[in-house]
Chains A and B, each alone.
Chain A
């Protein structure tokens, strides 16, 4: 299995940028591709998209409820709509529109939550989205995806464009390296990607939290002689139960890592499946605790709560009683 490609650490771009580039590629071939924005084309990296395809970008202004309702109407008339807005506003302000106009009415809008998690750092709680997996998981007919790197982003957008179902894709804005240079490690919505394999512990992470998990796995190997499985569980719903079962059966402990509240996200989704299926591996959920976060940049906040190489190593050793 591949490892972090160091050169990409320098050269990787923000997943959002890949989103925008991929969307341009799709829009070139398909006039039904639309980006719908809430004064968010800049933060969504969609300025070049708007310049190249002025007829395929719809500006709504700062009105997220209307953004989602209009997107649902467009989708019902056959448009392939990417509704782009900061994740914090999109999934809270417009939650009823997501629940009713997108999910319940089965209008296949692609909801793009930008600058997700704690990407906005010191801008604070109003701008953080640590609730989005939780609220969307409880909504029927909603796929939830957090691509970890540029490759996963590109594939996720292409697959979402052809998917005739409601879907939420969540992106941060930090440049991300490729998780692996193994080209045979493909991407399929709904199927987790095993990045490294080992029998001691399984670290199941999603979105931008996969990278520190992978870095921790390398250190666990080099410094402690421990072999970790690292899974990029990009699709949080529907969860890849077969893969979860497989890693639970083949490892001694399970650790989940996400840039989200510890309540209601990837960790609890895994926990409920494991418990209901009689797995009793030592298990821990890493995420943001139920508090207003410490002030800082995204990296500082993630480090503070242990969503970091050091934090994941410490949690892994603790789970294994080492």
Chain B
């Protein structure tokens, strides 16, 4: 089990790798990958019971990434966990590569093909329901973006999750408050998200989505309430970790040029030194 400091270092490393492979691919969802990476770090290094050597295990925990466009974060973590050689990511988005710009089951460790928004929650509800029917102990985790919440299918799934008392389901919202057009509040305001989900029968907790300790604590307390599905609203900063990217819409899928990449890595190296 990694210490808090080791996890902090992992997040820093993952941020650097996300940028590296986005620069290599000349494409990627930079801002959102940086906003959700601490969540993925804690999930894969602290929470999830998944094993690259036995990924098909019936009792494994499931992680389904509904905000599929932030695949770079997922691929970097899966590579680090040993699901595939990290060098594979040099082919990201390249001709004939399996490593496309959204999660695909052709990549070892990916549960479901996602990319179209508003799909992950229903898939997770079905998977959690199967665990209940079979009395299996696994938990299902799904990561949603706040920008995808206007998709109606999310709310259909939210109803079903509470209808069937799926307390083995945990949704996490990466609430970075920005989407491609601008702020989520301006595009289609979904606040207050907590009250909406609570009224749909969920138990909700807010955390700082960049605080390893708060994330760990929230996951440790699952289910937030017995008999109810859990929602963790992770308050995050789009582009987190690289100051010139933070809270800037243009970095939704902006790709750093050589100079920007160098500057970003320099900043992350400084932050790494501070952790050490």
B274 within 8 A of A: no
Contact B126 A78 (CB under 8 A): no
Measured CB to CB, the closest approach of chain B to A27, in angstroms, equals 13
Contact A69 B119 (CB under 8 A): yes
A101 within 8 A of B: yes
Residue of B nearest to A68 (CB): B122
Instruction: State the CA gap A75–B133 with chains docked (Å).
Output: 13
**How many A-B contacts are there with CB distance less than 8 Å?**
97
Contact partner, B122, options A55, A66, A104, Cβ 8 Å: A66
B26 within 8 A of A: no
Contact partner, B160, options A66, A79, A101, Cβ 8 Å: A66
Which residues A116-155 have CB closer than 8 A to chain B?
none
Contact A69 B123 (CB under 8 A): yes
Residue of A nearest to B142 (CB): A73
Contact A76 B111 (CB under 8 A): yes
Contact A70 B159 (CB under 8 A): no
Instruction: State the CA gap A71–B112 with chains docked (Å).
Output: 13
Contact B58 A70 (CB under 8 A): no
Known: A65-B152, A70-B125, A73-B127. A79 touches B157 (CB 8 A): no
Which residues B33-56 have CB closer than 8 A to chain A?
none
**Tally of chain A residues near chain B (CB < 8 A):** 28
Contact A100 B115 (CB under 8 A): yes
Contact B113 A66 (CB under 8 A): no
Which residues on the B side are within 8 Å of A55 (C-beta)? 133
Question: Can you offer 11 A-B residue contacts whose CB atoms are under 8 A?
Answer: A34-B133, A69-B119, A72-B126, A73-B125, A74-B129, A76-B123, A97-B153, A100-B113, A101-B119, A104-B113, A105-B113
Which residues B146-187 have CB closer than 8 A to chain A?
152-153, 156-157, 159-160, 163
Residue of B nearest to A65 (CB): B153
Contact A74 B126 (CB under 8 A): yes
Most A C-beta atoms less than 10 A away, residue of B128, B156, B157 = B156
Most A C-beta atoms less than 10 A away, residue of B118, B123, B131, B160 = B123
Which residues on the A side are within 8 Å of B163 (C-beta)? 61
Instruction: State the CA gap A77–B62 with chains docked (Å).
Output: 10
Residue of B nearest to A106 (CB): B105
B residues apposed to A, CB below 8 Å: 58, 105, 111-116, 118-119, 121-131, 133-134, 152-153, 156-157, 159-160, 163
Measured CB to CB, the closest approach of chain A to B197, in angstroms, equals 16
Contact A76 B119 (CB under 8 A): no
Residue-wise interface mask of A (54-72) relative to B, using a CB-CB cutoff of 8 A (1 in contact, 0 not): 0100101101011011111
Instruction: State the CA gap A188–B93 with chains docked (Å).
Output: 40
Residue-wise interface mask of A (184-216) relative to B, using a CB-CB cutoff of 8 A (1 in contact, 0 not): 000000000000000000000000000000000
Known: A77-B131, A79-B133, A96-B116. A66 touches B153 (CB 8 A): yes
Measured CB to CB, the closest approach of chain B to A31, in angstroms, equals 9
Contact B122 A97 (CB under 8 A): yes
Instruction: State the CA gap A75–B134 with chains docked (Å).
Output: 13
Known: A63-B159, A100-B113, A100-B114. A77 touches B130 (CB 8 A): yes
Contact partner, B127, options A58, A63, A77, Cβ 8 Å: A77
Which residues on the B side are within 8 Å of A78 (C-beta)? 58, 130, 134
Most B C-beta atoms less than 10 A away, residue of A76, A77, A107 = A77
Contact A66 B133 (CB under 8 A): no
Residue of A nearest to B124 (CB): A73
Contact B157 A66 (CB under 8 A): yes
